[in-house]
Amino acid sequence: MSESIPVSSPAGHPEPTATLEAAIGAAGLSVGFGGTTVLHDITVAFAPNAINALIGPTGCGKSTFLRSINRMNDRVHSYWCRGTIRVGQEDVLGKGLDVLSLRRRVGMAFQRPNPFPMSIQDNVVSGVKAHRLARRHELGGIAEYYLAQVGLWPAVKDRLQDSPFRLSGGQQQLLCLARALAVGPEVLLLDEPTSSLDPRSTEMVEDLLAKLSSQLTMVMVTHNLAQARRLSATTTFLYEGRLIESGATERLFASPGEAETLSYLSGRIG
């Protein structure tokens, strides 16, 4: 990437709120839709200020777990959830939770880039405006800061009012990450963020995530085992909706403690 991450936020805009209190955990978590249980009694803790990989075969519940953390499943028909999920000291499944506030604290990037149908600059600051985090005259500086942070500023500085759909797929994903970062989240959820990208774009996104890993708590769903091993501090393996094993990435890959984990890592299942 051509530019390093700036060391301070633009004037008038809050620093990211990540601290060691921002760890994520679940206890006794079961999730389902109608009569189908997707996740069974999950208890896990993710390392703060690090990348935590979530791996397992398609259909094992990884994305459902991720979307439960910031309540994105709430409006899905027949969705139900039991147990607890905490972000820092707060149970995000608790009654009376301000979901809009939660989604400021817990950002998300999806498998395919999802820019909004507005200008490149407006995409970056859309959340800032929605949460009323800055004055109008500060928005240009905020957009520049976060576009520089993700390495996009040199490519877009002369086309801020253009449509984001004119950007490459990799540039669109970086734009979506800039939008997520602009509201100062504690946590970033990543649902296969590079699976639809070419190798060069994948490298750009991975480089950004590695640089951010000391500032944010990240949970990343990935089917790319090499990517999980490259980037993550911890890895959690789900199989058929159950947590099979979780721990330090190097230990889990080098010496898995469960037969199912070994079978998945060696390609015999999944």
Distance of alpha carbon 175 from alpha carbon 149, whole angstroms = 10
13-38 pLDDT, tens digit per residue, is 444 444 444 589 999 999 999 999 99
Residue 270 is predicted with a pLDDT of 73
CA-based Rg of the chain, rounded to a whole angstrom? 18
24-33 and 36-46: which strand pairing?
A: antiparallel
Distance of alpha carbon 158 from alpha carbon 23, whole angstroms = 39
Residue 151 is predicted with a pLDDT of 92
Q: Assign 4 to helix, strand or coil.
A: coil
pLDDT tens over the chain, length 270 residues: 333 333 344 544 444 444 444 589 999 999 999 999 999 999 999 999 999 999 999 999 999 999 999 999 998 999 999 999 999 889 999 888 999 889 999 999 998 999 999 999 999 999 999 989 999 999 999 999 999 999 999 999 999 999 999 999 999 999 999 999 999 999 999 999 999 899 988 999 999 999 999 989 999 999 999 999 999 999 999 999 999 999 999 999 999 999 999 999 999 987
Distance of alpha carbon 151 from alpha carbon 155, whole angstroms = 8
Handedness of CA 246, 247, 253, 254 (dihedral sign): negative
In CATH terms, 20-265 corresponds, of 3.30.10.20, 3.40.50.300, 2.40.50.140, 3.30.1280.10, to 3.40.50.300
Q: Which residues of 11-29 are buried (b: 16+ CB within 10 A; e: fewer)?
A: eebeebbbeeebbbebeeb
Beta strands in the chain (DSSP E): 24-33, 36-46, 51-55, 79-87, 90-91, 106-109, 187-191, 217-221, 234-239, 242-248
DSSP state, residue 111? S
pTM of the model: 0.88
DSSP state, residue 11? T
Residue 11 is predicted with a pLDDT of 46
φ, ψ at 153 (rounded to 5°): -55, -50
Residue 95 is predicted with a pLDDT of 87
Q: Where are the domains of the chain?
A: 20-265
Residue 10 is predicted with a pLDDT of 54
